[in-house]
Amino acid sequence: MTKRTAPRPLSIRPVIALGSLLLVGSPQLQAQDYHLPDMGNSSDAILTTGAEARLGQAFMRHVRESLPVLDDPLLTDYIESLGNTLVAADPSATGRFNFFIIDQSVVNAFAGPGGNIGVYAGLILAAETESELAAVLAHEIAHLTQRHLLRTLEDQNKTLIPTMALMVAAAILGAQVSSDAGAAAIVGIQAASLQRQINFTRENEYEADRLGIMTLAKAGFDPYAMAGFFERLSKSSRAYENNAPEFLRTHPVNADRIAEALGRADVFGARQRPDSLRFHLVRAALRERSYKRPEQAVAYFRDTLREGRYRNVTAEHYGHALALMRTGQFDAARAALAEAMKSNAGLAEFIILDARLDLEQGQVERAVRTLKQAVALSPGSWPLRMAYAEALMKANRPASAIDELTTVARLRPGNPMLYDWLEQAALRAGHQAATHRFRAEKLYAEGEREPAIRQLEIALRQRDLPYHEAARIQARLESWKEEERESKRQNKRGVKP
């Protein structure tokens, strides 16, 4: 059931986006000035909390239409865990944050409305330490906590949410997708005008760097990692200067910005923090995915292991096992996994890979038992529960899979991928009403309220619908209908959402 987008050969190429790490320099640093800025500003009145959440939903719909969002539970769980660690260290961070990975090899990250922060696979691979990756996330979190995007939209406060989401998505994604996709995203909005309307200023970047370094230090990461990453990416970008898009040429990382980041880090001093094993495992998994042909991935890991060219031997064996499984060499993959498991056999990454090898070799019941035991030991691990549900589906137990996925839905409400899995399980189980209900939840999570309402209405018309289920669907339907009526009233009055 896990969706796998076609991996692309790794080509580290810095690309710039709205709210990305690589942006312009800033005013001269005053090392002692590291207090939080005044949080009150007129942007607070631009959108209500509910309207901003809907804007975030609409934005993510455009992101998913334009870019390959990686819906792998293990990889998503890691980036969420790292991001939430930083959010917890930032006293100004409130509300919901959504961290996700884009399955492309460019070196980039961006912050969008509704707490959405996207990180490219290429950036994770380019980060030499976990602190460098954390520096990118801390920078993007600061853009959101300081409401930089909404400040730039103050004069657009009567723009309807769908149009506003399209404008933001076009600005952020325009430099990163194909020309055809960029044209489709912009849909008649003049790119130059849009760039002027939604463009982070030098002051925004200065503030995001400053607060990001504070967050890094408070979370226990190395505050010098931001400057170090800036410098390496700046040197790397020079090789692509002639072919870089205009956006990149007008938003360089310069010596002043690097110096300012170093000065800010001096305030806190160096923090030595060992990289987590999960950081290395995620990089190994992304490296394996980056090869279009699995034989290339096998050769890469075989050579690095033989020559000792790796940062973490456990992760290198793990990547080798993933590559071997993709080629169908299951026994060899088990041997490589056994080498990786010598350090920590209880990691979810290893348990899930072991179970998937069982599934590939027809040992379905063994996989079910392994994952059931793992879930019992770690009931809060949603990647383990997702893998368990996948095994239950392979074992032709869709009703049990629904139970597991419903538990995950309580842990992670509003996740479109999860409701897609639930819809498939309900369809396999022959539960028509549940199939339409889960399809409705998926559409609603993606910001498609009217189609979601229609799906709930279809669900209510199903025969033999239990009373308690009908009551739950009816309550959900009335709530969504009221949201739709209120949205139409506001749009008709021409006021901000």
The pTM of the full predicted model, rounded to 2 decimals, is 0.83
Whether 403 sits among the annotated catalytic residues: the reply is: no
- Alpha-carbon span 1 to 350, nearest angstrom: 19
Token pair for 311:
């940062």
486 is in an annotated binding site: no
Whether 450 sits among the annotated catalytic residues: the reply is: no
Confidence of residue 493 (pLDDT cuts 50, 70, 90): low
Q: How far is CA 108 from CA 67, 104, 245, 381, 488, in A?
A: 13, 10, 14, 28, 37
**CATH, range 396-497:** 1.25.40
Give the residue among 399, 397, 406, 375 at the shortest CA–CA distance from 388.
375
Tokens 């005044």 locate to 38
Of 52, 72, 90, 209, catalytic: 209
- Alpha-carbon span 363 to 387, nearest angstrom: 15
Q: Which of 98-112, 177-191, 428-442 has the lowest mean pLDDT?
A: 177-191
pLDDT in tens, 297-346: 999 999 999 999 999 999 999 999 999 999 999 999 999 999 999 988 89
Please indicate whether residue 17 or residue 87 has the higher confidence score (pLDDT).
Answer: 87
139 is in an annotated binding site: yes
Give the residue among 112, 262, 116, 137 at the shortest CA–CA distance from 200.
112
pLDDT in tens, 378-426: 999 999 999 999 999 999 999 999 999 999 999 888 888 899 999 999 9
pLDDT in tens, 443-464: 998 878 999 999 999 999 999 8
Of 140, 222, 390, 423, catalytic: 140
Instruction: Please count the other Cβ atoms lying within 10 Å of the Cβ belonging to residue 323.
Output: 27
- Alpha-carbon span 186 to 33, nearest angstrom: 40
- What pLDDT is attached to residue 411? 87
Confidence of residue 108 (pLDDT cuts 50, 70, 90): confident
Contacts of 105 (CB under 8 A, 6+ apart): 8, 9, 10, 11, 12, 13, 120, 121, 122, 125, 290
Does the CA dihedral 164-481-53-418 come out positive or negative? negative
Residue ranges covered by each domain of the chain: 13-268, 396-497
Phi, psi of 171, deg, nearest 5: -65, -45
